[in-house]
Structure 1
Amino acid sequence: MVYSSLDKSEKIAKKSILVFIFTGFAEFLLGTISGSVALISDSIHTFTDALVSAITFFGLKFSRRLPDGKFHFGYYKVEAFSAGISALVMIAVGLAIVYIAYLKLLNPAPLTVYIPTMIVAILATAIFWVMGFIKIRTSRIVSSNAFKFDTYNTLKSGFSSLTAFFGVFLSYLGFHQFDALAGIIIGGFIFTIAYITTKEVSLILLDACRHPEFFGKIKEIAKSVRGVVDVYDVRLRSVGLFVMGEITIKVDGKMSVEDLNKITKEIREKIKSQIANIVRITIQAEIA
C-alpha cells in the first residue's frame, strides 16, 4: 500500500517538473516583454519549483533503497534531507526576488504590455492549483515530508501567480508601484513555506515522532497477543516516510524461549500489518 502510493507520488513529482518549466518559461517571456517585476519574480519562483520537484523526485527514489554496508538502517531519511535542501534553495531565491522587487519599487514605471501578461498570470494560477489539489489527495496517503513540502509549494505557487496578476492589474489601473510590491509579497510566500518545512525537517532529523497516535495503537496490538502481561516504554522515531521503534513487554517467567519468540514474532507481524508506516520494530521482553 505504502510503496504503491509512493510510486504514484514519484510520477506526480516527475510531471510537476515539466509543468513548472513550461509555465515558468511563459511567465519569464511575458514578464521580460512587459517589464513586470512581479511576473519575472514569479517565473524565477516557478523555475525554482521545478528544482524542488526534481529534488523531491530523487529523494523519494533514494528513500526506497535497501540497507547496505554503509547505511545499515537504509536511506529513509534522504527524503527529509531533500526537503531541507529545497527549503534552503527557496530562502536564497526569496532573498533575490525581494531585492529585485525593492529596486523596482524605488523607481516604479508603467508596463509595456498588460492584457497578455495578466492572462499568463491567471492561467499559471489555475494550473498550479489544479496540480496542487491532485498532490493533496496523494499526500494524504503517502506520509512523505518531501512530497508534502512539494504539495504546499505547488499551492503556494498558485497564490504567488495570483499575486503577480493583481500586481499587474493594479499597475494597469495606474498604481505602478504595486507590480514591485507584488514581487515582495511573492518573496514572503517563499519564506513562509521554507520556514515551515525547515521546522518539520529538523524534527525528523532529530528523531522526533510525528505520529503520536501510533503509541496507543501499538500498545493495544501488543496487549492483544496471548501471553503478554503488560506493555510499556514504547519509543518511536520518524525516518522520513517510515517509522522505527522499540517496545518492552512483560511475560510470565516460566515461559520458554520458543514461546517467547513466537509471541514477539506475532506482535511484530500484527503491528506491521495494521500500521503500514512501521518499517522496523524491536521488542524487548522482561519477566513480570
Structure 2
Amino acid sequence: MADNSARQTLIVAGISLAIGLIVLALKIWAWRITGSIALYSDALESVVNVVTAITAIVAVRLAQKPADAALPYGYHKAEYFSAVIVGVMIIVAAILIFREAILGFFTPEFTSAPLNGLLISASATTLNGLWGIALLRYARKVRSPALRADAKHLFTDVVSTAGVLIGLALVVVTGWTILDPILAALVALNILWSGWGVIRDSVGGLMDVATPPSTLKTIRDVIASNADGALEAHDIRTRQAGRLTFIEFHLVVPGIMSVEDAHNICDRVEAELRRAVEDVQITIHVEPEDKAKHSGIVVV
C-alpha cells in the first residue's frame, strides 16, 4: 500500500512537470508574438514552475527512501529543503522581472498580435489553475510539503496571469503602453510574497514544528481513553517531518506492575494512535509512579 502511494506521488510530480513545460511553452509563445514585458514576466514565472516541479520530483523520491544508519529517522525532511529551494527560485524570478519592468519604464513598447497573445496566455493559465486545484488536493491528502509548495506557486501564477491579462486588455483599449511595465512590477511583488510564504512554511518544518492543535487534542484523547491501568501520561511532544508525525511521551504506571503488563498498555495505546493519526512514529517512555508530575496534561 505504501509502495503504491509512493509511486502515485512520483507520477503526480511527473505530471506536474509535464504540465509546467506545456504552460511555459504557451507563455513564451504569447510573449514572443506580443513583445509584452508583462507577458515576459509571466513566462519567467513559469520557468520557476518547471524548476519547482523538477525539485519536487527529486525531493519526493529522496523522501521515500527508508531510514538507514546515517539517517535513522528517515529522509522525510528532504521535501522541506525542496520547498526552501523553490522559495529562493521564486524570489530570484521576481528580481529578474523587476529588472525588466524598470527597463520597460524607460522604453515602453507593446507590439503586434495582442489579442492572440492574450488568448494563448489565458489558455495556459486555465490549464495551470485546473492542475493547481488537483495538485493541492493530492498534496494535502499525502501531506507532501514539496507538492504543496508546487501547488501554491501555481495558484500564485494563476493570480499573476489573470492580473496581467486584465491589464493588457486595458493597454489594447487605451493605448497606454506604460501599463505594461507597471503590470510586470506588480507581478514581481506578488511573486515575492509567494516566495516568502513558501520559505516561511518550510522553515517551520525544518525546525520540527508541532502538530496542529486539533491533532494534538486527538492524540491526548486517544491516550486518555486507551491507557487503562496506567496512572498518568506527561511530557507529550509532537513534531512534523513531511508526511510523518512523531509522538513522544512518558507513561507512568504503578511500581508493582509487571513489565509485560506495562508493555501491553503501550501496545494498546500505540495501536489506537496509529488508527487515529496517519503515518505516525511513536516513542513511549515507561516510568514508575514516583515519577508522576501530576501536571494534569493527561491523567488516565
TM range (shorter): over 0.9
Q: How many residues align?
A: 287
Q: Within 2, Cα distance between the matches of 1:40 and 1:182?
A: 11
Structure 1: which 5+ runs fail to align?
none
Q: Within 2, Cα distance between the matches of 1:256 and 1:19?
A: 60
Q: Do 2:56 and 2:79's aligned partners in 1 also have CA atoms closer than 8 Å? A: yes
**1:221 aligns to what?**
222
**1:91 aligns to what?**
91
Structure 2: which 5+ runs fail to align?
290-300
Cα shift at 1:233: 1.2
Q: Within 2, Cα distance between the matches of 1:32 and 1:60?
A: 34
**1:47 aligns to what?**
47
TM-score, normalized by length of structure 2?
0.90
Q: Within 2, Cα distance between the matches of 1:192 and 1:14?
A: 26
Q: Within 1, Cα distance between the matches of 2:255 and 2:13?
A: 53
Letter in 2 for 1:276: E
Cα shift at 1:167: 3.1
Matching of residue 10 in structure 1 with residue 5 in structure 2: no
**1:240 aligns to what?**
242
Q: Do 1:59 and 1:78's aligned partners in 2 also have CA atoms closer than 8 Å? A: yes
Instruction: Give the secondary structure class of the aligned counterpart of 2:141.
Output: coil
Q: Within 2, Cα distance between the matches of 1:177 and 1:12?
A: 40
Cα shift at 1:134: 1.1
Cα shift at 1:5: 5.1
Q: Within 2, Cα distance between the matches of 1:83 and 1:213?
A: 25
Matching of residue 181 in structure 1 with residue 170 in structure 2: no
Instruction: Give the secondary structure class of the aligned counterpart of 1:141.
Output: helix
**1:263 aligns to what?**
265
4+ residue runs over 6 A deviation: none
Q: Within 2, Cα distance between the matches of 1:186 and 1:6?
A: 35
Q: Do 1:2 and 1:277's aligned partners in 2 also have CA atoms closer than 8 Å? A: no
**2:288 aligns to what?**
287
Name the CA shift for 1:212/1:100 in 2 (closer, same or farther; >3 Å): same
Q: Within 2, Cα distance between the matches of 1:38 and 1:168?
A: 8
After superposition, give the CA deviation of every residue in 1:79-117 in whole Å (9 maximum; x if it has no partner): 111101111111111100111112112221232221111
More displaced 10-residue stretch of structure 1: 261-270 or 37-46 = 261-270
Q: Do 1:108 and 1:177's aligned partners in 2 also have CA atoms closer than 8 Å? A: yes
Cα shift at 1:270: 1.8
Instruction: Give the secondary structure class of the aligned counterpart of 1:272.
Output: helix
**1:34 aligns to what?**
34
After superposition, give the CA deviation of every residue in 1:149-188 in whole Å (9 maximum; x if it has no partner): 1111111111122122123212212121111112112112
**1:157 aligns to what?**
157
After superposition, give the CA deviation of every residue in 1:190-234 in whole Å (9 maximum; x if it has no partner): 111111111111111111114222222222222223212222211
Q: Within 1, Cα distance between the matches of 2:180 and 2:192?
A: 19
Matching of residue 68 in structure 1 with residue 73 in structure 2: no
Q: Within 1, Cα distance between the matches of 2:236 and 2:192?
A: 36
Matching of residue 193 in structure 1 with residue 194 in structure 2: yes
Q: Within 2, Cα distance between the matches of 1:5 and 1:38?
A: 40
Cα shift at 1:189: 1.9
Q: Of 230, 233, 238, which residue of structure 2 is paired with 1:231?
A: 233
Q: Within 2, Cα distance between the matches of 1:154 and 1:105?
A: 28
Q: Do 2:37 and 2:104's aligned partners in 1 also have CA atoms closer than 8 Å? A: yes
Q: Within 2, Cα distance between the matches of 1:158 and 1:37?
A: 17
Cα shift at 1:2: 7.1
Letter in 2 for 1:118: L
**1:127 aligns to what?**
127
Q: Within 2, Cα distance between the matches of 1:131 and 1:14?
A: 12
Cα shift at 1:3: 6.5
Q: Within 1, Cα distance between the matches of 2:136 and 2:202?
A: 19
Q: Do 2:39 and 2:164's aligned partners in 1 also have CA atoms closer than 8 Å? A: yes
Q: Do 2:30 and 2:118's aligned partners in 1 also have CA atoms closer than 8 Å? A: no
Q: Within 2, Cα distance between the matches of 1:53 and 1:113?
A: 31
Instruction: Give the secondary structure class of the aligned counterpart of 2:14.
Output: helix
Q: Within 2, Cα distance between the matches of 1:36 and 1:211?
A: 44
TM-score, normalized by length of structure 1?
0.93
Instruction: Give the secondary structure class of the aligned counterpart of 2:142.
Output: coil
Q: Within 2, Cα distance between the matches of 1:4 and 1:199?
A: 31
